[in-house]
Chains A and B, each alone.
Chain A
Amino acid sequence: MRFGRTVALDGIELTLEEGITGLFGPNGSGKSTLLRAVAGLVRPSQGRITFEGAPVAAADEGWRRLVGYAGHESGLYPNLTVSENLELFGRLYGSNPARPASLLSQLGLEGRSKTLAGELSAGLKRRAAVARALVGEPRLLLLDEPYANLDDDSAALVTEALVAWREPGRSALIATHGARKLKAFADAGVILRRGRIVTQGRYRDSSQQRRPFHETATP
């Protein structure tokens, strides 16, 4: 994946399994670009991304139905309330009408449902962004820094929402600097550096103290 002369991603070979995969790496390592590419928002200059054998593209309506994405920004309409945002996206995804209210409750946003999204604090906005990404009950969830600006209690709410969303047949790729929070419940991890995967693998046992990447390691 190139942007002008800059190579953002190079030689990425990644198979996303069921469950939650953490995407770790320093700033500028290509995490956000990888998420955008998987969502179909940017097209790789070489190679291809497939989902169940079919190429991924945001132009494909069927693909869009499967994906929940929250990038660096909240993706919300600042002049709509939190509740109006979730209801709008819920309707567009054709999800259960009770889903927005349930997510508001799950992410501790009931008291802010009538607040304009643009007036939320950074942490509340992040939680609302996660709710928006989850509202369509996606099979593939792509989150960029869902724990940014969150205190421990808020982070715990996000974790609970992600764990509640995790079901057989669903996959998530979650980019974060807060590796500690994600490692506590993720099923797999990938480390990127300078646009390349340096390590990837699945966690051995979710009940034990986790040390990532036991199964495979890319030198």
Chain B
Amino acid sequence: MTKTMWLAAKDLRIEMRARDTLAPMLGFAATVALVLAFALPEASSAGDDVVSYVQAGFMWVTVLFAGLIGFGRTFEVERAEGALDSLLLVPVDRSALFVSKALSNLAFIVVLETVLLPLSALLFAYDLGGSWGALVAVVALVDVGFVAVGTLYAALAAQTRSRELLLPLLALPALIPVFIAALELTADLLLGAGFDALAARGWFGILVAFDVVFVTAGAVLFDAVLD
């Protein structure tokens, strides 16, 4: 196992014991999904343009804010007992540190979505037909960029007193393109578009470009951010 994997495994092991991150994320997501399920009129039907966009919007807004709860805790395991100093002094490349934190955040987001997507499908009566595979591809592309931005800004915010306030202030503007793309692509899927139709839309390219830019920026800038 590489040092990156040891560090990511450490975060996951700690979460398995403390359940400080996933519990609030899942609790928030389940509550919001349940409340929003009552926001749509009973007569609304799957396949309707407006309904599909609203359903997709509900899902991604829930992922966005539940994710920010998790990202806000990225360095909390280091905050207790001054372990951040220990981590800052280990002879590990800072880009590897970024990747390890991003991997553990990605694991938390994947668990969140594994619970939220089926729950949303149930509550909102999604009709994806055979498009679940395409949805997973969209989710994967969104997650990479989301986690890269969240992890980078979590490191920046972690060193300030008002970190809970600063993280959403910094991350939300940066995340607008990725969540608009996620909304557009998911709404298309709910309207019955196939993978080929999705791939032909520019949103896919935007997601890929966003991922490349922010993963690279995270790996390159993490050193300066921690310094």
Contact = CB atoms under 8 A, between A and B. Distances in A.
Given A77-B83, A118-B81, A92 B6 contact: yes
B80 A118 contact: yes
Interface string A15-43: 00000000000000000000010011100
Contacts of B3: 91-92
B14 A80 contact: yes
A76 B86 contact: yes
B201 interface: no
A170 interface: no
A93 B90 contact: yes
A94 B91 contact: yes
A132 to B, nearest CB: 7
B77 interface: yes
B93 interface: yes
Contact of B89 (A62, A64, A88): A64
A88 to B, nearest CB: 6
Given A59-B223, A92-B3, A41 B14 contact: no
For chain B, the bracket of interface size reads 20 to 34
A79 B82 contact: no
Contacts of B223: 59
A65 interface: yes
Interface in B15-53: 17-18
B73 interface: no
B87 to A, nearest CB: 9
A77 B93 contact: no
B85 A75 contact: yes
A74 B81 contact: yes
Interface string A103-122: 00000000000001110000
Nearest to B6: A91
Contact of B92 (A72, A75, A92, A117): A92
A132 B86 contact: yes
Q: Looking at A61, A116, A132, A136, which has the most chain B CB atoms within 10 Å of its CB?
A: A61
Interface of A: 36, 39-41, 57-59, 61-62, 64-65, 67, 69, 71-80, 84, 88-89, 91-94, 116-118, 125, 132, 136
Given A40-B89, A80-B10, A80-B13, 5 more contacts: A41-B89, A88-B6, A91-B6, A92-B6, A118-B80
Interface of B: 3, 6-7, 10, 13-14, 17-18, 77-78, 80-83, 85-86, 88-94, 223, 226-227
